[in-house]
Chains A and B, each alone.
Chain A
Amino acid sequence: MSRDVAIIGIGMSKWGELWDRSLRDIFVEAALAAIDDAGVDKIDSLYIGNMTAGLFTGQEHLAALLADYLGVAPIPATRVESACASGGLAVKMGYLEVALGMSEVVLVGGVEKMTDVGTDQATYALATAADQDYEVYHGITFPGLYAMMARLHMEKYGTTREQLAQVAVKNHYHGSMNPVAQYPQRITVEQVLNSVMIADPLRILDCSPITDGAAALILCPLELAKKISRKPPVKIIGIGHATDSIALHSRDDLTTLKATERAAQQAYRMAGIKPSDLDLAEVHDCFTIAEICVIEALGLVEKGQGGPATAAGMTTLGGKIPVNTSGGLKSKGHPVGATGVAQVVEIVTQLRGEAGPRQVANARLGLTQNMGGSGGSTLIHIMEVAS
């Protein structure tokens, strides 16, 4: 009763501090780009990943609003939320709707408009992804939560401050080759180590930025894709989705992202692959330490080896498993609800062979990992070029 699902269209809005653009406009810009890329003339259903437009812009009831502005009402439209993993969750929901035969052509979008409020309100909005009563009440911030993971990772595994910085240096290097990246500037380890301290040991250049942006995909059954797609269809072959306590202190091991481990196992099993089969991955580098913990949880490196592997270039373009060729959240930007969808856009771009100077040679199999809060929820998708 389940059928194969393919991605036949991808689109991105401009990403950055878009003072002159509204949430609805950036969403429609990305959605139209995806519709044009796929060459479809109608869609049957819409899924939108968005963390908290209510707090960032005062607007809820997004799904109907965006269906209207995209000109596709009265089709069903659904907004889903899982903090910074809202986009990844939208991809999963769109997949299910096609796989179950409820719709033929589904548009999956992600959007966040973060600069309509000041920094303090934005910090407040993002912090709602942590435990309000037992974390945020005490003055902790997201950089602070990840800083505590970083300090323990350094103590337990000998991860160095320089190795953390290498994650940012690598992702800005990749982002310098991505025309949509918000911060395409290349940076050095020294610049990271001398940047403003935010939450010791993390500095501003360890942190992903605040971004306005949207991304969109067109999903349809693989059989239909083979008939109508103008470009090589990309098949979704594995999905993983798991949760953990949203309060960091409630976890047995503060440096292990258990939801990511669990979701990865599910996705690898469904796809019938092992981590070493992957050609590339887009992962949730909201902070430098996050990428190190994530590549460990995904099994791309041994536990505790994320730092040395990064410093050795294993995850750089040309390395054994390039990670975040798009520039990642760090350089490309992190409009929270859009991120999980944009990660899939990058994998599809790479699998089509359209990534230009940042193209991974012979990319056939890619993974996305999108994470909410300090790791309380994770969505993983594995994709391959349809044969």
Chain B
Amino acid sequence: MSVSKYWREIPHRYRLEAGKCKQCGKIYFPGRLICPECGGREFDTIQLKREGKLLTYTIIHVGPSRFADQVPYVVGIVELQDGVRLLCQVADCDLDRLQIGLPVKIEFRRISEEGEAGIIHYGYKCVPV
């Protein structure tokens, strides 16, 4: 992954920065330039709530090569308390505790390693509360 492509995602990935429409209040993660709900073009930058619940999940047994050393790993869709949804890995969770509705919180973690140089990608994962 190119440096610029990685670098420009850092505000969302590291700090969970989102855009809140000044006109209708809807929150977008990542931020956008126009609100699909109301057409508004002005946004406040906010930080997402870190607590939420698991809406659905899967356990990946066959993954891309960048994640091959992690299988099996859990990926889920989380709804945060401010209503925003995102997709991320579910970490530090026994498989028999996994269930729809599980309360989780977002943490900053290592996501994957790339190539021979072992460049590390960071970002958010969720863990059970």
Contacts and interface: CB of A to CB of B under 8 A. Distances in A.
Given A139-B111, A254-B77, A151 B61 contact: no
A32 interface: no
A248 interface: yes
Nearest to A144: B58
A197 B62 CA distance: 8
Interface residues of B, number: 32
Contact of A198 (B62, B64, B66): B62
A196 B77 CA distance: 24
A201 B95 CA distance: 13
Contact of A152 (B55, B60, B89): B55
A355 interface: no
Contacts of B67: 139
A135 B64 contact: no
A128 to B, nearest CB: 12
A140 interface: yes
A155 B77 CA distance: 15
Interface string B32-54: 00000000000000000000000
A61 interface: no
B81 interface: no
A138 B61 contact: no
Given A152-B100, A248-B77, A141 B87 contact: no
A36 interface: no
Interface in A115-155: 120, 123-124, 127, 133-141, 143-144, 147-149, 151-152, 155
List of 7 A-B pairs having minimum Cβ-Cβ separation, nearest first: A147-B58, A200-B59, A139-B67, A152-B56, A148-B56, A249-B77, A249-B85
